[in-house]
Amino acid sequence: MPYIEDRASWFEGQGLWQHIPASDWLDWTWQLKNRITTVAQLEQFMTLTAEERAGCVFANQKLALAITPYFFNLIDRNDPNCPIRKQVIPRAGEMVQSDEEMLDSLGEDEHSPVPGLVHRYPDRVLFLVTDRCAAYCRYCTRSRLVSNAQDYNFHPEYEQGLRYIEAHPEVRDVLLSGGDPLLLSDRKLEHLLSRLRAIKHVEFIRIGSRIPVFLPQRITPELCEIFKKYGPIWMSIHVNHPKEATAELKAACERLSFAGVPLGNQSVLLAGVNDDADVMKALVHRLLRMRVRPYYIYQMDLITGGAHFKVDVRKGIEIIRALRGHTTGYAVPQYVIDAPGGGGKVPINPDYVEKITDDEVIFRNYEGQSFRYPLKSTPMKAVDGAELPASGIELVTVRP
């Protein structure tokens, strides 16, 4: 069935938690304390399928089960195929492993000069500052360490990480991630940001966070003041489906934007969640309305027990083709595969170029019509009425 977007409505309210005072509902610590973390709690609210039940029983050996009440409200409890449900409720597929899959599929541990700091690209580092999240995504790339269900015993080494960055003047860009950096207290976060801001060669600081999506209440005025003080701080949020774009997420994005935080979005292409051009189009439109620029769509990493989420790369290309030219250019993210083993992010694009020679390039537009752009300009003559200088003119042709 094609996805039909409800453009007017943005989910809002307390859903199943009507009986809770609004002051609790809006308090992010209440949301964290009242997370759904056990099968028994889940079953108080909904009927699990046999597949989900088996997945839940296994989950605590792999990646903890946790869902904030706010995010739980977005699940359609009557629909086993609900795209929100699939993201946070474990399924039996997590117990299945294939040969291609790896615990550390991006070779991050090999590229870590100090624990929790990944220095893969010459000019930027990924700084993992915690292993905790507000809720856990069943397809998480870092499920090996996130939530510590596998006894990975990840301990972020702030001081060592900061000292490494201080000692490496080539690092101009620091990406705070995890786990979710916005789970740190304001005080810890302010400490990290002030230390990074004090490093002269660090020009660009950004945070990767799913907190605005799982726990928009965390985006408090006090937190926004910290971003203002140490800004510009850029942020990549993580929204996969238009149903996640609620009134509360929109308001959180507005608070961040008004505090001077430019926002991007990263989605993971997930089977049965967003592997559909209509769903993706609805999502990117909603993102723009929330002041968020779609940044990346990731092909799923080859994590252990992730095969049930895997989407054919040709489908991803088809989605980009359905967006480019058909909608606002700002709405079109870059589709990437993070190269297994640690090659970095590589753009995967539909091919618009049919033929390219020294003389011409033949290419197709978004509607499939073919065009020609000449690269050589012969014969050359003066434009009517123009007088060329006696020395003639020099034309420079730049070739790759």
Catalytic residues: 120-121, 124, 133, 137, 140, 142, 301, 338, 345
Smaller CB distance to ligand SF4: residue 126 or 199? Answer: 126
CA distance 306 to 143: 10
User: Which is closer to ligand PLP, CB of 13 or CB of 344?
Assistant: 344
Residue 126 interface partner, choices ligand PLP, ligand SF4, none, CB cut-off 5-8 Å depending on type: ligand PLP
Q: Minimum distance from CB of 300 to ligand SF4 (Å)?
A: 11
Give residue 48's Cα distance to chain centre.
28
Between CA 157 and CA 164 the distance in angstroms is 11
Could you tell which of ligand PLP, ligand SF4, none binds residue 195, using a CB distance below 5 to 8 A set by kind?
A: none
Our measurement of the distance from residue 384's CA atom to the centroid of its chain's CA atoms, rounded to an integer in Å, reads: 55
Cα–Cα distance measured from residue 55 to residue 275, given in angstroms and rounded to the nearest whole number:
22
Task: Choose the contact partner of 124 out of ligand SF4, ligand PLP, none; CB within 5 to 8 A by kind.
Answer: ligand PLP
Q: How far is the CB of 141 from ligand PLP (least distance, A)?
A: 9
CB of 246 to ligand SF4, least distance (A): 17
The smaller minimum CB distance to ligand PLP, of residues 84 and 207, is found at 207
Q: Would you put residue 32 in left (φ > 0), alpha (ψ -120 to 50) or beta? A: alpha
3-state secondary structure of 41: helix
Binding site for ligand SF4 (CB under 6 A): 133, 136-137, 140, 142, 146, 178-180, 210
Binding partner of residue 86 among ligand SF4, ligand PLP, none, CB under 5 to 8 Å per kind? none
179, interface contact from ligand PLP, ligand SF4, none, CB < 5-8 Å by kind? ligand SF4
Measured distance CA(164)–CA(144) in Å, rounded: 24
Cβ–Cβ < 8 Å for 183, 130 = yes
Enumerate residues 6+ apart whose C-beta is below 8 A from 278.
2, 3, 4, 5
Residue closer to ligand SF4, measured from CB, 103 or 375 = 103
Binding-site partner at residue 146 among ligand PLP, ligand SF4, none, CB < 5 to 8 Å by type: ligand SF4
Q: How far apart are CA 124 and CA 211, in angstroms?
A: 23
Helix (H/G/I), strand (E/B), else coil: 84: helix
| Structural element, H or E, at residue 128 | strand 124-128
Pick between residue 210 and residue 250 the one whose CB is nearest to ligand SF4.
Answer: 210
Between 120 and 243, name the residue whose CB sits nearer to ligand PLP: 120
Reduced to 3 states (helix: H, G, I; strand: E, B; else coil), residue 208 is strand
Closest contact distance (angstroms) between CB of 345 and ligand PLP is 5
Measure the CA angle with vertex 327, ends 345 and 266; round to 5°.
30
CB of 124 to ligand PLP, least distance (A): 5
Residues in touch with ligand PLP (CB under 6 A): 118, 120-121, 124, 126, 175, 345
| Distance in Å, CB of 131 to ligand PLP, minimum | 16
Nearest CA-CA partner of 294 in 251, 270, 323: 323
